[in-house]
């Protein structure tokens, strides 16, 4: 079986350069407590609690990793594993999982995959994992909320890929918010070429639906069972599922609360009148009410203690951006004009779409709360100004 990485990697408190430190933008990170400062390499595990393990997979973006979680489990008398989230469908991710199958699974099967939401880094390899990789080792089940499953499955189909690759709705969306025609054309085509179906080539044909408040028992043996309560969140995704173990004080947070960067909260062309920021802020307040000693397992960055502090930091972050938006709207401004006001650093092509969507989410939040007004001019472009 080879060396067992669960006993050799990253004890709490070891010094580290913190992999991914280039992505840290949280100036108040000192208010949080990071018990583990060394992330696992792809294909290795870090033990967080008895039966709960941290693994990390690469991403080909500026945000270069996703954290996944592996839990010892037993279903129908069979001892095995539950995985939370998957990584994208890529050769490096498959290879890392194959190393785990061979070196860390101990011959036990994967029993189920719980996907927090439909985004590619969370759902991408679900179809491959549930069948046990290239060698079809087992048949596991996929557990998700209904909205996340349905959207992911649709986008992974030919019809979904065709819809997402159609540049016209994206082009019109950008034009309506002040992007010049040439740039709108380029962004619209770039958006389609990002290729959801490339990173999520297939989604399992059936799934086990989970709901807000459901309790999922996970653990190997009756004395090791933990109850993980489903806590749904909104704003980042339609029906994101975090998992809270009240007895063990462990929150698998997904993308809802990240320690170093703020979760992307965007308005998209498919729901152009949305107010996702209000929903996101309400959702993290629910998480912030959890016990102060909760260990937070985020999808990006390092596991940490300080959930309530982080929720307060995220509120402060958005409050600063909302105030900057109001100040900038002393004269009528488009969303396109406000992107460099809220995002002053240089953005790559992948980031610029997220920045645009998040700028619009702040404008919509203020518009729905009556702080700004929105008007559409004779040029069919929306502009926002103080009410």
DSSP class of 326: H
For residue 177, is it within any domain?
yes
Cα 301 from Cα 153, distance rounded (Å): 28
Decide the pairing of beta strands 240-245 and 250-254: antiparallel
Task: Please state the pTM of the whole predicted model.
Answer: 0.92
For residue 351, is it within any domain?
no
For residue 105, is it within any domain?
yes
Q: Which residues 6+ apart lie within 8 Å of 340 measured at CB?
A: none
User: What's the CATH code of the domain at 288?
Assistant: 3.60.15.10
For residue 294, is it within any domain?
yes
151: three-class secondary structure by DSSP: helix
For residue 154, is it within any domain?
yes
Q: Map tokens 């050769």 to a residue.
A: 91
Q: Are 99 and 218 in contact (CB under 8 A)?
A: no
> Where do the H-state alpha helices sit in 86-145?
91-103, 120-123, 126-129
pLDDT digits (tens, 9 = 90+) for 302-360: 999 999 999 999 999 999 999 999 999 999 999 999 999 999 888 877 788 899 999 99
Is a pLDDT exceeding 70 seen at residue 224?
yes
For residue 367, is it within any domain?
no
Is a pLDDT exceeding 80 seen at residue 12?
no
Give residue 264's pLDDT: 96
Give residue 351's pLDDT: 85
Give residue 148's pLDDT: 98
pLDDT digits (tens, 9 = 90+) for 227-245: 999 999 999 999 999 999 9
Number of domains the chain contains: 1
Is a pLDDT exceeding 50 seen at residue 260?
yes
pLDDT digits (tens, 9 = 90+) for 271-295: 999 999 999 999 999 999 999 999 9
pLDDT digits (tens, 9 = 90+) for 135-161: 999 999 999 999 999 999 999 987 666
Cα 10 from Cα 45, distance rounded (Å): 9
- Of 334, 366, 350, nearest to 173 (Cα)? 334
Tell me the average pLDDT of the chain.
Answer: 90
15 is written with which tokens? 């010094």
> What mean pLDDT do residues 360-383 have?
98
Element (H, E) at 176: helix 167-176
Decide the pairing of beta strands 110-114 and 141-144: parallel
For residue 188, is it within any domain?
yes
State the pLDDT confidence band at 167, using cuts at 50, 70 and 90.
Answer: confident
State the pLDDT confidence band at 164, using cuts at 50, 70 and 90.
Answer: low
State the pLDDT confidence band at 163, using cuts at 50, 70 and 90.
Answer: low
Residues of the domain holding 195: 5-322
For residue 380, is it within any domain?
no
Helix and strand totals (H; E) in the chain: 12, 15
Decide the pairing of beta strands 65-75 and 52-58: antiparallel
- % of the chain with per-residue pLDDT over 70: 91
Element (H, E) at 207: none
Give residue 11's pLDDT: 30
């Amino acid at each position: 079986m080879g060396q067992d990485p669960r006993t050799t990697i990253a004890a709490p408190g070891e010094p580290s350069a913190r992999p991914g430190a280039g992505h840290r933008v949280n100036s108040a990170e000192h208010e949080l407590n990071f018990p583990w400062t060394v992330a696992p390499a792809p294909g290795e595990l870090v033990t967080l609690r008895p039966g709960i393990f941290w693994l990390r997979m690469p991403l080909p973006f500026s945000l270069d990793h996703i954290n996944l979680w592996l839990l010892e489990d037993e279903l129908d008398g069979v001892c095995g594993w539950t995985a939370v989230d998957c990584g994208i469908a890529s050769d490096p991710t498959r290879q890392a999982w194959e190393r785990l199958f061979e070196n860390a699974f101990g011959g036990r099967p994967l029993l189920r995959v719980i996907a927090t939401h439909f985004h590619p880094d969370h759902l991408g390899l679900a179809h491959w994992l549930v069948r046990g990789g290239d060698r079809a080792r087992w048949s596991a089940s996929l557990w998700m909320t209904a909205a996340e499953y349905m959207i992911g499955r649709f986008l992974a189909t030919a019809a979904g890929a065709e819809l997402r690759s159609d540049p016209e709705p994206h082009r019109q969306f950008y034009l309506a918010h002040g992007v010049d025609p040439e740039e709108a054309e380029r962004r619209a085509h770039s958006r389609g070429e990002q290729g959801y179906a490339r990173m999520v080539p297939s989604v399992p044909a059936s799934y086990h639906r989970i709901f807000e408040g459901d309790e999922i028992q996970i653990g190997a043996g009756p004395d090791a069972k933990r109850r993980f309560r489903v806590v749904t969140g909104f704003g980042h995704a339609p029906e994101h599922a975090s998992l809270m173990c009240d007895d063990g004080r462990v929150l698998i947070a997904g993308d809802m609360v990240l320690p170093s960067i703020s979760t992307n909260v965007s308005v998209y062309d498919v729901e152009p009148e949305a107010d996702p920021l209000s929903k996101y802020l309400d959702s993290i307040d629910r998480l912030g009410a959890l016990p102060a000693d909760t260990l937070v397992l985020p999808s990006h960055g390092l596991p940490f203690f300080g959930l309530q502090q982080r929720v307060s930091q995220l509120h402060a972050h958005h409050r600063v951006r909302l105030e900057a938006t109001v100040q900038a709207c002393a004269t009528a401004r488009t969303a396109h004009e406000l992107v460099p006001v809220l995002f002053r650093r240089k953005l790559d092509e992948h980031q610029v779409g997220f920045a645009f969507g998040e700028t619009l989410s702040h404008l919509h939040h203020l518009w729905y709360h009556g702080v700004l007004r929105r008007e559409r001019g004779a040029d069919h472009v929306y502009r926002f100004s103080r009410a």
